[in-house]
Amino acid sequence: MKRRSFLSSGAALGTLASLTAGGLSRPALAAGRDRLRLGLIGTGMRGQVLLRELLRREDVEVVALCDIEPIMLGRALAMTEKADKPRPQSYGQSGDKLAYRKLLEQKGLDGVIIATPWELHAPMAIDAMNAKVAVGCEVVAGITLQDHWDVLRTQQRSGTPYMLLENVCYRRDVMAVLQMVRAGLFGELVHLQGGYQHDLRAVKFNSGDPSKPYGGGVEIGDKAWSEARWRTEHSVQRNGELYPSHGIGPCAMFTNIHRGNRFTHINAFASKARGLQDYVGRKMSAKDHPNAKLKYKLGDVVTTTLACENGETILLQHDTSLPRPYSLGFRVQGTDGLWMDLNHSVHIEGLSKPHEWEDFKRYQDKFDHPLWKKYASAAEGAGHGGMDYFVIHAFVEALKAEAPMPIDVYDAVAWSAITPLSEQSIAEGFKTLPFPDFTEGLWKSRKPIFAFGDKY
Ligand SMILES: NC(=O)c1ccc[n+]([C@@H]2O[C@H](COP(=O)([O-])OP(=O)(O)OC[C@H]3O[C@@H](n4cnc5c(N)ncnc54)[C@H](O)[C@@H]3O)[C@@H](O)[C@H]2O)c1
């Protein structure tokens, strides 16, 4: 069939349907539960966005909240009250950093969402899994390589469900491209790109005023508020791809990583670090402030390359300290064409005019994912253009059905371990390192389950 008629006849979607029927579909679902009792650890800026999604659902009861910052905890409690939901038990008001363990002991808790600073994700997830409380963990999974092995081993030993809440995998255009990849529009995949290219200077510094979490000051650490309290320290102490999952998540799903493919090698380069010092001293006119003299280890642009078992290369860029509009910089390229998100454009040989970009809209409409078709109106108003609805939906539906998590512990640890491995590569002179096989060979036989059909 000619490629143009393949696209226009709907045969591509027919092919998808037969692929699904032919063994790539989700495993049979257990009878499952129809309602979940969930807790939330970390009710800061992100926790509140996720809480809003949980409170909108009829199949979720938010029964426990924990934060050591009373203002954040108070805001979350006010949200549940405003939503006219029963008041959850609350933990952490006294500032006890281990209060979350009390939350984990609460009777009847089915699962917990973790939305705390990065360094707390692994210990909190490990404690939750050991307590048999299912985990939906915000990105990242851990800090050191050992953290990632510990998260994996705990999940394997306990059998407790664990999902990384990587929302970009559910972005509408990303999911349409996934449909196109599965339908073979790009031919055989060869090279992919993604990243986290987001000017975070106003996230990394603020005045410490709880009503202004972004910008308006140059404080970090204890004097600051929200992410500037903890995230900036990572830019001071570490040099690597510090936030890999928004970029690698979709690329890993496109290339079936851990489902017939795997990362084999990694290396990373870091540029010089200028942006943060320059922001504090020159842009914020605070040249005498200690943060204008602080040495930030994080290179302004960190470029990481991964090689895959099936021959694809994946390039990630972390770019958070310089002025720039937001872009994750996706590119999916195969033997028959490519998509790039920056200019919403696509080129498919045989469908597009030779050497010309086409607007992505026609493809977006044609390959819109069944999940988006079904839930677009439910997702309206949800965070990040709706994708936050889908990531919570996926966690809740998989947990209710007692089905495998669509972004599981192998995905979580491999995507997130890019950070310590990129740090090691840079520290050792941009050395190419072997990528650990967290699946220990299982990648050969595992089948794709992410976003097949219209359930989750
Ligand atoms: N997926 C996304 O699009 C997205 C967007 C923003 C943030 N995030 C992630 O969400 C997480 C939280 O980010 P944020 O912006 O909400 O940061 P934040 O600083 O606003 O919130 C973190 C909260 O955790 C609380 N906390 C710290 N230690 C605690 C402890 N021991 N027990 C209980 N609570 C504790 C803090 O008091 C704070 O309220 C991070 O991992 C971040 O990377 C993801």
Backbone angles phi, psi at 264, to 5 degrees: -110, -35
Average pLDDT over residues 102-109: 98
Distance from the alpha carbon of residue 379 to the mean position of ligand 1, in angstroms: 22
Report the atom number in ligand 1 closest to the C-alpha of 116: 24
DSSP letter for each residue of 313-328: EEEEEEE-SS----B-
Q: What is the pLDDT at residue 1?
A: 32
Residue closest by Cα to atom 40 of ligand 1? 117
Mean of all residue pLDDT scores within the chain: 93
Which region among 19-23, 33-37, 98-102 has the lowest average model confidence (pLDDT)? 19-23
Q: What is the pLDDT at residue 138?
A: 98
CA distance 408 to 156: 11
Cβ distance 162 to 151 under 8 Å? yes
Distance from the alpha carbon of residue 100 to the mean position of ligand 1, in angstroms: 14
Tens-place pLDDT, residues 168-188: 999 999 999 999 999 999 999
Q: 41 in ligand 1 pocket by Cβ < 6 Å? A: yes
Q: What totals of helices (H) and strands (E) does the chain contain, helices first?
A: 17, 15
Q: 249 in ligand 1 pocket by Cβ < 6 Å? A: no
CA distance 417 to 149: 9
Mutate to test the pocket of ligand 1, among 40, 43, 46 (most ligand atoms within 8 A of CB): 46
Report the atom number in ligand 1 closest to the C-alpha of 230: 19
Distance from the alpha carbon of residue 229 to the mean position of ligand 1, in angstroms: 10
pTM: 0.93
Average pLDDT over residues 338-345: 94
Which two structure tokens, joined as six digits, stand for 136? 């939906």
Q: What is the pLDDT at residue 421?
A: 99
Q: 49 in ligand 1 pocket by Cβ < 6 Å? A: no
Which two structure tokens, joined as six digits, stand for 304? 């990481």
Distance from the alpha carbon of residue 322 to the mean position of ligand 1, in angstroms: 23
Give the CATH architecture of domain 171-373+409-444.
2-Layer Sandwich (3.30)
Q: 51 in ligand 1 pocket by Cβ < 6 Å? A: no
CA-to-CA separations, 164 to 86, 113, 151, 246, in angstroms, rounded: 27, 10, 12, 11
Distance from the alpha carbon of residue 403 to the mean position of ligand 1, in angstroms: 27
**Spans of all domains in the chain:** 36-168, 171-373+409-444
Domain 36-168 has CATH 3.40.190.10: no
Average pLDDT over residues 305-319: 98
pLDDT at 440 over 60: yes
Mutate to test the pocket of ligand 1, among 43, 67, 102 (most ligand atoms within 8 A of CB): 67
Q: What is the pLDDT at residue 20?
A: 29
If pLDDT is split at 50, 70 and 90, which confidence band does 33 have? confident
If pLDDT is split at 50, 70 and 90, which confidence band does 28 have? very low
Tens-place pLDDT, residues 249-301: 999 999 999 999 999 999 999 999 999 999 999 999 999 999 999 999 999 99
Average pLDDT over residues 214-239: 98
Count of alpha carbons within 13 angstroms of residue 56, beta-carbon side: 19
Long-range CB contacts for residues 43-47, cutoff 8 Å, separation at least 24 = 43/67, 43/72, 43/73, 43/75, 43/76, 43/115, 44/69, 44/72, 44/115, 44/116, 44/226, 44/227, 45/213, 45/226, 45/227, 46/115, 46/138, 47/72, 47/76, 47/113, 47/115, 47/116
Distance from the alpha carbon of residue 95 to the mean position of ligand 1, in angstroms: 15
